[in-house]
Structure 1
Amino acid sequence: MQDTLIAESGDYSGIIELFRDGKAEHNDATLSALLGEDYRIKVEYLIGIGFLERVGSNYKIPQLYRSGLRVRQGKAFSVNDGQDEEDDED
């Protein structure tokens, strides 16, 4: 985690740290709250480096990075929020 993803992400390393101790699956609302108003630009970068992946209309942190950031399996949003009902399983 530290030697590859964080070291290679430069200015975005602080953004990756925002996910620490959180949940693995996010939607636009949780990413906007976490990353701020220009979250879409940040999300595209995080997808590009492999830290986030699209799953339907949601996003997941791959299993590879979860233990390094103490990210727990599950959704950071309520299924009742009208978002995709993707499985929590990985």
Structure 2
Amino acid sequence: MSVSTGVAPQRQGVASALASTAQYLGSAVGLSALVAVSNAGLGADSSADSVVDGLRVAGWVAAAVTLVGAGLAAAIRRLQPAAAVPEEQTKTA
């Protein structure tokens, strides 16, 4: 599904810009959250093993968020009403 579906032709650029901005902001916030998760609990004298453990936890958090997002997208898609079929297509010859 396109971001600009149902948007007036003169507003296509605005819709595209909003979608791109939301994607970039979401990526930045997501990355900063994963960095915070991976660095949680690290001190000044952290070993390589603790850094790897933090990265492993951040990877699992990213996987969990991805699965939740996919589930929400599927649920939202099911809730959308079906597109109306024009009356000419419903009549048989």
Normalised by the size of structure 1, how large is the TM-score?
A: 0.23
Q: Which has the larger radius of gyration?
A: 2
Comparing both structures, which one devotes a greater share of its residues to helix?
2
Comparing both structures, which one devotes a greater share of its residues to strand?
1
